[in-house]
Amino acid sequence: MNVWSVIRSILGRRGVERDIAEEVEAHLQHRVDDLVASGLSPEEARGQAEVEFGDVERIRRECAAERLQAERSAGLSHALDTWRQDVTYALRQIRRSPGFAAVAILTLALGIGATTTIAAVVHAVVLAPLPFAHPDRLVYVQETTPRGDWFSVAEGNFLDWRDDTSTLADVGALTFRGGTVQAGSEPRRVSVAWTSASLSRTLGVTPMLGRNIQDDEDRPGAPGPVTVLTYHGWQDLFQGDPSVVGRDVILDGTAHTVVGVLPDGLSFLARADLLVPLGASPTSDRGEHYLDVWARLTPGSDIEAARAELSALSREIDATHPEIAGWGVRLTAAVDQLVGPDLQRAGWVLLAAAVLLLLIACVNVSNLLLARSTLRRGEVGVRLALGAGRRRIVRQLLTESLILSGFGGLAGLLITVAALPTVQRLGGDRIPRLDQAAVDPTVLVACLAAVVVAALLFGMVPGLDLGGRNVGSSGPVDALRASQRVDASSGRGLRSAMVVSQIALSMALLLGTGLLVHSFLRLSSADPGFDPEHALTADLSMPDAVYSPDQRRTLVAELLDAVGRVPGVDAVGVTAVKPFSGMNLANFTAREDRMPADARDFLPIAWRVVSPGFFRAMGVKVLEGRTFRDDDGAGEGAWTVIVSKSLARELWPDGDPVGGTLVWGDPQGSRMRVVGVVDDVQDVHAGQEPPPLLYVPHREMPWAAVTLVARVHDSSAAVAAAIRSAVRRTAPGLAVPELSSLREDVRSAVAPRRFNALILGTFAGTGLLLALVGVYGVTAFGVSGRVREIGIRLALGGEPEGILRMVLAHSLRLSILGTLMGAGLAWGTQLWLSRTTDGFLSSMLYHTQTTDLATWVVVPAVLLGAALVAAWIPARRATRVDPREALADQ
Amino acid sequence: MMRMDILQGTLDVLVLRTLAASGSIHGYQIARTIKERSEDVLQVEEGALYPALHRLERKGWIRSQWGRSENRRRAKFYQLTGAGRRALQQEVSAWDRYTSAVGKVLSDVPSGPTGSTK
């Protein structure tokens, strides 16, 4: 029951009470009549009648209560009745004009489908809780250098924190490494998470089979190696065998007993195939930072308290470990670490764009309804004449809007279901949790919200137009008369306003998209410092347990030789850091001749371990000196190293680095002789400035996990297969994965930005199309209403060109106004964003200002040009009006 | 004279029964008729009739309209509906079952069978 019927029943109560009072009085009068007839005086009779009747007041109240209850149930069934009538009527209206309904529903489906799809993505990627117990109490811990750079954590520091903290309930650590599993006869490359036993407690992870790794298994040299499979590893290595617990996995030549299996979808843990004990040692080198550390806050503490405590612990560590003096800690809430501001921002931008599209769709449908409402004036007039209230009419129209919108929502859901797999493929695996986007209850609620909001928005204007003063203001008779003709002049102002708003919304959407697309194009064409075309990569792992450093040196030399002989291969090399794999190596360096006394004044750098052929295989230009030779890194004394252009510029701003000497890590570190300078390379974060890079020969540091890079004539499958078999022949124990192309690796690095650009582009394109349909429709409707006027003009000798100009000028005025308003809207938004947020826009845009001239010129030009074309079609029709027909018609 | 408070349900049945016999009559007439029929054994607080009338009307068992009484006064006349007639039949048969059950219990008293009290 709505508010109105409550109010009505309160007002109606007085009538009911009068009715009851009258009835009671009639009873008393009749009794008085009888008693007087039997001889009593009127006064006595009245007295006796009242005594016999009983408590008049109470009885009145009881009667009134009965009546009120009666009205309530009647009111409810009446409301249901009205609603059923409205729905039936609305369905009949939709059936009567299937063309209109189809266009409206399709338009709404586009808007609602876009909104629902993005809602599903944002819900899964940004909003869904992390798959850990009480994720709000989970923090990610890093170390910070004295200069403020972030580093992973050293084993010793992790152990000190774990054992000495009181603000953290538990601290867990892990690091990912490649490994080789012997599965049948074929060696297989797997991703291994080396985890502390405390990690599963910290995260609150419960295995679906078996148990977690235990503390006594997580010590250096613990007996009987064990492993816990991730869901993915369980499926891949054991085909989901439920009796896997207790069986062995041969990992890097050693049998590990499977003690448990983790459930699916555990965020970063799912990147691994299996978990093995980390066995962190307090005596390990504190300069080796490679652990990801997660911690759970105790119920009484917060992230600030934990930060203060860990910082204090770091000062204590300074005393015992001067080599890392001045290092600090950085704590990040788990959600910020795992979802991150970039994804959150991108999510909101996409959602805003989807809502803009929905608004444009609403304006379009509103426009359609408004055109129809002109035709429906007669119908509404008839209903008014038959006694329908205006409120009832408005309600009827809103019901129709809701039903249209509901159908649009259903179709939109279908679009979402159909589009989600494509959207997920677009994002690839670079957008975490995107694969979990699905039409779930939350998304259904979002869809329902979109349906209702859309219905209110697009139903409002026609509802006001029809239900308001415009119809039958001087009585239903006028409205009935109006039904005899189409009066296109009525509602013209409204329709013009809507075209303007539609163009404005499209303009804003197009401008935002233009900036993002332009930024993406710049990013895609940005020079990474190497040539990603015609290059293949393959990850190889030569674990410590199987290969000694010398064996690795020999094996790599043999592999490079064998692959280099494969026909079609121009150059081949290895590197310890696969481009855009997310991995990085960092350290510090200084010039020996200008060495600071304190390690904390050393320059932070990224470094790479590579073989001589790497630079040619990657296509990195050598600027000065030479690249590595096969004998580099074999001898005693100073290392042989190569520096990147930016490192050379940083340390030798006005000199020649070739022949200079660098120091590794701290004043006591190894001495390194620079033999060459190569071009800058960006291989970690697409779109960022290349870091100063130092290259060390693989022979100097025979890294276990390397990526083979081969430059080939053509990237055909035949060459890839030949490379694989060459590797397999040379090193039968090595797991050889499928080769991937370097181009693909680079592409996947910019996948999130491509995802944003593509989806925004789709939205903007759809929005533009809808806006053009709007311009076309309104112009066409305007022309059809002015046929008579145009006929007269032509009859009086008006030139068709003049008519064309007149119609186009009107439409163009609206478009220009809309464009200006849209530009204002976009400008205001970017001003607001740059004032209220820190780096929101610059984080979304690569080397592109919000004032990007190309975007601000191209977008309005395209929009106005397209709008002109959309108006031109109906305008031309206007010039073909036959004056005689036009005049006779009316 | 024995006086009894009558149960609400009983009053409803009496009203229905009265209307079934009399066609369209107003509240005061209903009250008089019930009094006469029950030979004053059931002394109704006359006013109690009216909540019962409104309740029965809500249930759709009776309907009402304003009219003129025999002594030219305005009065609300009540009439049994089809649903009311069916309800009355059910009530009467339920009442019969109840009284015959009570009668059987009473007839088991050692003074010997005395037959139904119906």
Please check whether residue B45 touches A, CB under 8 A. yes
**Which residue has better confidence, A480 or A254?**
A254
Nearest-CB residue to A59 (from B50, B69, B71): B50
Q: In angstroms, rounded to a whole number, what is the distance separating the alpha carbons of residues A807 and A255? A: 83
The answer to whether residue B77 sits within a structural domain is yes
Residue B107 in domain: no
* pLDDT value, residue B40: 59
State pLDDT tens for residues A415-426.
999 999 999 988
Q: Of the candidates B28, B47, B71, which has its C-beta nearest A55's C-beta?
A: B47
Q: Say what the pLDDT of residue A87 is.
A: 85
- The C-alpha of B28 sits at a distance from chain A's nearest C-alpha, in angstroms, of 5
For chain A, what are the domain ranges? 3-84, 97-137+339-487, 147-326, 488-525+745-890, 543-733
- Domain interval for residue B54: 8-102
The CA-atom distances, in angstroms, between A177 and each of A421, A548, A553 are 31, 17, 20
Our CA-based measurement puts residue B102 at a distance from the nearest CA of chain A, in whole angstroms, of: 32
Range in A139-148, A175-184, A352-361 with the lowest mean pLDDT: A175-184
Report the relative pairing of strands A209-210 and A254-261 from DSSP bridges: antiparallel
Tokens 């759809």: give the residue. Answer: A766
> Which residues in chain B touch residue A27, judged by CB atoms under 8 angstroms apart?
27-28, 31, 46-47, 50
- Please, which pLDDT band fits residue A169 given cuts at 50, 70 and 90? very high
Identify the pLDDT of residue B5.
42
Tally of structural domains, chain B: 1
pLDDT of residue B2: 34
CB contact under 8 A, B54 and A66: yes
CA distance A825 to A832: 10
- Residue B100 has a CB neighbour count (10 Å cut-off) of 14
The reported pLDDT for the residue numbered A1 is 40
Q: What digits encode the pLDDT tens for the residues A535-573?
A: 999 988 888 878 899 999 999 999 999 999 999 999 999
In tens, the pLDDT along A312-329 reads 998 888 888 877 778 889
- For residue B44, being part of any structural domain is answered with yes
B60 lies in a domain? yes
Q: How far is B29 from chain A (nearest CA, A)?
A: 9
* Residue B87 resides in a domain: yes
- Closest Cα in chain A, distance from residue B18 (Å): 17
B40 CA to chain A: closest CA distance, Å? 13
Q: At what angle do helices B27-37 and A3-37 cross, to 10 degrees?
A: 60
What letter would DSSP give residue A170? E
Which ipTM value was assigned to this complex?
Answer: 0.81
Report the SS3 class of residue A291.
Answer: strand
CB contact under 8 A, A30 and B69: yes
**Residue ranges of B 70-89 with Cβ closer than 8 A to chain A:** 71, 73-76
Domain annotation covers residue B116: no
Are B58 and A54 in contact (CB < 8 Å)?
no
State the CATH number of the domain containing residue B49: 1.10.10.10
Contact A24 B54 (CB under 8 A): no
Greater pLDDT, B99 or A251: A251
- Shortest CA gap B21–chain A (Å): 20
Per-residue model confidence as pLDDT tens digits over A130-158: 989 899 999 999 999 887 888 899 999 99
Per residue, the 3-state secondary structure of A846-881, as one string, reads CCCCCCCHHHHHHHHHHHHHHHHHHHHHHHHHHHCC
Burial state string for A38-53 with b = 16 or more CB within 10 A and e = fewer than 16: eebeeeebbeebbebb
> Pairing relation of β-strands A226-229 and A254-261?
parallel
List chain A residues with CB under 8 Å of B46: 27, 31, 52-54
Partner-chain contact A24 B47, CB within 8 Å: yes
Contact A288, A150 (CB under 8 A): no
Mean pLDDT of A178-205: 88
Look at residue B109 and tell me if it is in a domain: no
Mean pLDDT value across chain A: 86
Q: Are strands A186-195 and A274-277 parallel, antiparallel or unpaired?
A: parallel
- Enumerate chain A positions whose Cβ falls within 8 A of a Cβ in B: 20, 22-24, 26-27, 29-31, 33, 52-56, 58-59, 62-63, 65-67, 69-70
Q: With a threshold of 0.90, does the pTM exceed it?
A: no
Residue type, A296: R
Residue B112 lies in a domain: no
In this model, does residue A471 exceed pLDDT 80? no
Distance from CA of B57 to the nearest CA of A (A): 9
B50 CB within 8 Å of a chain A CB: yes
pLDDT at B117: 39
A-B CB pairs within 8 A amount to 69
Q: Which of A633, A618, A637, A529 is CA-nearest to residue A570?
A: A618
Which residue from B46, B54, B69 is facing A63, i.e. has the nearest CB? B54
Going through A751-858 in order, the beta strands assigned E by DSSP cover: none
pLDDT at A721 over 70: yes
pLDDT digits (tens, 9 = 90+) for A798-819: 888 888 888 888 889 999 999 9
CB contact under 8 A, A26 and B26: yes
**Best interface-test mutation with A: which of B42, B50, B58, B66 has the largest number of A CBs within 10 A?**
B50
Q: What pLDDT digit, counting tens, does each position of B41-66 carry?
A: 456 578 888 888 888 888 888 988 88
Tell me the pLDDT tens digit for each residue of A374-430: 667 777 777 776 666 677 777 888 888 899 999 999 999 999 999 999 999 888 777
